[in-house]
Amino acid sequence: MSGNVRLLSDTLAAAKEEGRSALIAYLPAGFPTVDGGIEAVKAAIEGGADVVEVGLPHSDPVLDGPVIQTADDIALRGGVRIADVMRTVREAHAATGAPILVMTYWNPIDRYGVERFTAELAEAGGAGCILPDLPVQESALWREHAEKHGLATVFVVAPSSKDERLAEITAAGSGFVYAASLMGVTGTRASVSSQAEDLVRRTRATTDTPVCVGLGVSNPAQAVEVARFADGVIVGSAFVKRMLDAPDDAAGVEAVRALAGELAKGVRGQV
């Protein structure tokens, strides 16, 4: 069974043809429950997200700020497992037809088994993985199995990445490049780092792969700003915060749908 890397590429290309950035939402699996997380992913897409990253909750999240850590803790205490992550991908993709990726740290994949993980993700209809802590020089085994199963390998670049390092990373990756707008962890911020546009420019000099910006984008005005120079706008903590602040799970799902609609207008410059 082949994964949906082509669907991811086609979706990003279609947004570009429309003269806009793609909207990429992040939501953790198993939060607030497995079923509730699936409904939230579906709502994000129905609201206007083009792509969704499903987070695999991990006990040692090096990139995630307090909002996502809180959601991950709820999911982990609820007993979420990799099987639940795969189910989230499968049901959300089946219901919407949208490309769904998994964002995960390397340790859970390493323990689960690379071949098993990639085969199951492809079977679930997944489009690929974002691997924020897997060094490119140690990624050959993952990339071999991902390519075999038709999955994208999305690496993260940062403002501190030198041009030579950017070229090495972009040559190894596929699907898109995740450009972290700042040095730090995820979270909503008052403004988007000025380093983001320079990072996108330097990254584009090394590749034709779409460059999508995340970390710190939380409202439509910021989405407008980032959409001026990036192929995709990635939003995570703002969605999770809406769910954490909601009075119940159903209201949280509707809050996700509403925010996706607001951000979708942002990437289209309609704010």
Q: Is 64 one of the catalytic residues?
A: yes
The SS3 assignment for 183 reads coil
249 is a catalytic site residue = no
Burial 120-135 (b: 16+ CB within 10 A, else e): bbbebbbbbbbbbebe
Name the nearest CA neighbour of 130 among 89, 86, 175.
Answer: 175
- List, in order, residues 6 or more apart from 20 with CB less than 8 Å away: 227, 267, 268, 269
Number of C-beta neighbours around residue 95 at 10 A: 14
Q: Which of 53, 72, 225, 231 is catalytic?
A: 53
**Which one from 39, 64, 84, 225 is the annotated catalytic residue?**
64
The interaxial angle of helices 82-96 and 34-47, nearest 10 deg, is 30
Long-range Cβ pairs for the range 59-64 (8 Å, 24+): 60/105, 60/107, 61/105, 62/105, 62/132, 62/133, 62/185, 63/132, 63/133, 63/156, 63/180, 63/185, 63/186, 64/185, 64/186
Cβ–Cβ under 8 Å, residues 1 and 121: no
Gyration radius from the chain CA atoms? 17
The residue type of 23 is L
Give backbone dihedrals phi and psi of 103, rounded to 5 degrees, phi first: -105, 120
Q: What are the residue numbers of the active site? A: 53, 64
